[in-house]
């Protein structure tokens, strides 16, 4: 009995440790629906801001300015294929760092099939030298546990190898942030493969926040996610599940156990995608960090205590 109790305590602490320091994400459109992020997110939290295909980068900058004023660490996305030229990139970085005080960004290639300007991938952005010039101290890069349909796995690894080499010659700290995932085994297999291949960049796993299965399905379609997309589709066949809220407890519990048990694990933490809304996701995540949950024998996950009221 004592061993079982200790095991349960250890599992709880693994989950709390794994979720501590989680980051969040918002789109400019979603941000416009939140009167004050301080009502839902704790002071000093890191919130990423998307720069989506077809949108204006000025909207991303505007949200970054607002989040900084509200006491957060805003991390704007910089999409290579959405940047028209070097002058635009330099002027944007000068504004972000000089006027707003941004010191962290996420560089992605972007969803545009054809670049609007001279940058086609994140490596070209990094090679510009502008991030060091303007004092960017942390740079996130995209990680792909399930690959990219249009890019061979070998090319993805060669790019990651280049980024690891670049990390040794830049002043900034580089790390990986993944698209959101639903099942732990593919993520664990991917991480183990990367460690064998020599990856040294810390990894933050994308986790879907509370949302209906339909919301997850729609977002997964937009992201082109592979095996996890099929997993959601199978779940969506159950009409009753479409009317409920899905929580990522099993995924987090399994990844937390992996991180605690494997010293070679490259996963450093969690990046939450608030697909069902900032309030639902942040309330749930903070409850986990505060230990307000009980382990469940149902699926190997855990149940978060319902907030008061």
- Beta strands 267-273 and 203-208: pairing type? parallel
Q: What is the pLDDT of residue 112?
A: 76
Residue 244: count of CB within 10 angstroms of its CB? 10
- Sheet containing strand 24-26, strands side by side: 24-26, 46-49, 73-79, 104-108, 138-143, 173-180, 203-208, 267-273
Domains of the chain, each with CATH number or no CATH: 2-210+247-294 (3.20.20.220), 213-246 (no CATH)
pLDDT category of residue 143 using cuts at 50, 70 and 90 = very high
Average pLDDT over the chain reads 88
Q: What local confidence, expressed as pLDDT, does residue 110 receive?
A: 87
User: Using one digit for the tens of pLDDT, what is the confidence trace for 177-225?
Assistant: 998 888 999 999 999 999 999 999 999 999 988 876 666 666 555 554 5
pLDDT at residue 240 tops 90: no
Mean pLDDT on 46-50: 97
Cβ contact 105:77 at 8 Å: yes
Reduced to 3 states, what is the DSSP secondary structure of residue 245?
coil
Q: Which of 78, 86, 150 is nearest to 117 (CA)?
A: 86
pLDDT greater than 90 at residue 277? no
**Quick one: residue 118, left, alpha or beta (phi over 0 = left, psi -120 to 50 = alpha)?**
alpha
């Amino acid at each position: 009995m004592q061993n079982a109790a200790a095991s349960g305590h250890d599992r709880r602490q693994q989950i709390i440790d794994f979720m501590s320091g989680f980051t969040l994400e918002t789109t400019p459109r979603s941000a416009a629906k939140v009167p004050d992020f301080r009502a839902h997110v704790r002071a000093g939290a890191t919130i990423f801001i998307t720069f989506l295909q077809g949108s204006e980068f000025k909207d991303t900058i505007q949200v970054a300015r607002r989040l900084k004023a509200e006491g957060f660490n805003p991390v704007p996305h910089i999409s290579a294929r959405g940047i028209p030229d070097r002058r635009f990139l330099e002027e944007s970085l000068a504004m972000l760092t000089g006027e707003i005080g941004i010191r962290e960004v996420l560089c992605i290639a972007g969803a545009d099939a054809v670049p609007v300007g001279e940058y086609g991938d994140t490596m070209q952005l990094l090679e510009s030298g502008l991030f060091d010039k303007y004092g960017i101290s942390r740079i996130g890069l995209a990680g792909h546990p399930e690959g990219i349909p249009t890019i061979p796995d070998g090319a993805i690894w060669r790019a990651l190898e280049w980024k690891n080499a670049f990390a040794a010659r830049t002043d900034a700290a580089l790390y990986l942030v993944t698209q959101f995932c639903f099942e732990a085994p593919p993520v664990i297999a991917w991480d183990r493969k990367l460690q064998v291949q020599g990856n040294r960049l810390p990894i933050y796993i994308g986790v879907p926040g509370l949302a209906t299965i339909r919301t997850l399905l729609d977002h997964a379609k937009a992201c082109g996610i592979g095996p996890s997309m099929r997993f959601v589709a199978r779940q969506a066949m159950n009409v009753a599940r479409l009317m409920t809220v899905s929580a990522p407890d099993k995924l987090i519990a399994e990844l937390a156990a992996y991180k605690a048990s494997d010293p070679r694990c490259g996963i450093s933490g969690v990046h939450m995608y608030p697909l069902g809304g900032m309030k639902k996701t942040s309330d749930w995540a903070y409850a986990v960090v505060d230990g307000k949950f009980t382990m469940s024998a149902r699926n190997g996950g855990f149940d978060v205590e319902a907030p008061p009221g």
